[in-house]
């Protein structure tokens, strides 16, 4: 993995919080591969740093980090009271026209970390709206009202809108050959997906600072997500 300068990821910083645009492919916490992770990078920048929530390794976007225990407790209470507004953008397989679709599906995870809908699982809710539609894909805005593992991925799969590239939950590779007419590939070459991960990006995060001021941070799309959308729009 190429070297990442933590300072280049910062979207917002005050005396209590650092909000960053996490790159895809970087774990929030230490994982088995022992590669660099967000917490490790954050603590080199600010020794008392503590993550206020997590993003999946392959998910890019907004991530909040507390600089002190009081700030961590305060934001944790906001998450628990569902006062934090998190918005994700996802490229989904298929054409979907969702308007304030509330997905209320309880979720459980098995020992391998695979999540599934389970009527005896934990309460989980996601609000979904369609932002744009293309030839055979849709750009969706997802607001999780709870914070379960893989929640958006499983909820979208449950309504037939699996995220592109999310093979674990039924998503298909995002291939240019599926959207571009008369697409040709060189002999002996294998087509690479437009985006080589789950096409999910944490676009914005809104919460209250300890001062009472509302903090709103928005993360620009990373290059792979932006390029995938550009190609979908070009050949729609």
Residue 159 forms part of a structural domain: yes
**Active-site choice (56, 93, 166, 224):** 56
Q: Is 56 a catalytic residue?
A: yes
Residue 31 forms part of a structural domain: yes
- Confidence at residue 229, expressed as pLDDT on a 0 to 100 scale: 97
- Confidence at residue 24, expressed as pLDDT on a 0 to 100 scale: 95
- Confidence at residue 34, expressed as pLDDT on a 0 to 100 scale: 56
* Residue ranges making up the domain that contains 40: 6-234
Residues of the chain with pLDDT under 50: none
Q: What per-residue string of b and e applies to 22-42 under the rule 16 or more CB within 10 Å gives b?
A: bbbbbbbeeeeeeebbbbbbb
Would the CA dihedral through 122, 108, 25, 141 be positive or negative? negative
What pLDDT digit, counting tens, does each position of 96-107 carry?
999 999 999 999
Calpha distance 90→198 (Å, rounded): 9
Residue 93: name the closest of 146, 204, 39, 167 by CA: 167
This model's pTM is above 0.75:
yes
- Confidence at residue 68, expressed as pLDDT on a 0 to 100 scale: 97
Residue 107: name the closest of 54, 155, 159 by CA: 155
Residue 98 forms part of a structural domain: yes
DSSP state, residue 224: H
Residue 128 forms part of a structural domain: yes
Residue 1 forms part of a structural domain: no
Domain count, the chain: 1
Q: What is the CATH number of the domain that holds 174?
A: 3.30.2350.10
- Confidence at residue 190, expressed as pLDDT on a 0 to 100 scale: 86
């Amino acid at each position: 993995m190429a070297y990442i300068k933590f300072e280049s990821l910062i979207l917002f910083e005050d005396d209590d919080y650092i909000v960053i645009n996490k790159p895809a492919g970087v774990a929030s916490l230490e994982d088995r591969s022992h590669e660099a992770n967000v917490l490790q990078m954050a603590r080199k920048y600010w020794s008392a740093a503590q993550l206020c929530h997590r993003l999946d390794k392959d998910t890019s976007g907004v991530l909040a980090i507390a600089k002190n225990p009081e700030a961590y407790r305060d934001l944790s209470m906001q998450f628990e009271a569902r006062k934090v507004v998190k918005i994700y953008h996802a490229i989904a397989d298929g054409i979907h026209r969702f308007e304030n679709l509330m997905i209320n599906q309880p979720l459980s995870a098995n020992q391998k970390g695979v999540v599934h809908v389970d009527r005896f699982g934990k309460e989980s809710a996601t609000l979904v709206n369609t932002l744009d539609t293309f030839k055979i894909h849709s750009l969706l805005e997802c607001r999780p009202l709870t914070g379960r593992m893989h929640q958006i991925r499983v909820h979208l799969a449950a309504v037939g809108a699996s995220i592109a590239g999310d093979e674990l939950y039924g998503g298909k590779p995002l291939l240019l050959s599926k959207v571009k007419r008369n697409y040709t590939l060189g002999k002996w070459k294998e087509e690479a997906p437009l985006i080589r991960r789950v096409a999910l990006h944490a676009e914005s995060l809104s919460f209250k600072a300890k001062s009472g001021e509302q903090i709103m941070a928005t993360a620009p799309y990373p290059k792979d997500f932006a390029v995938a959308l550009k190609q979908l729009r070009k050949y729609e």
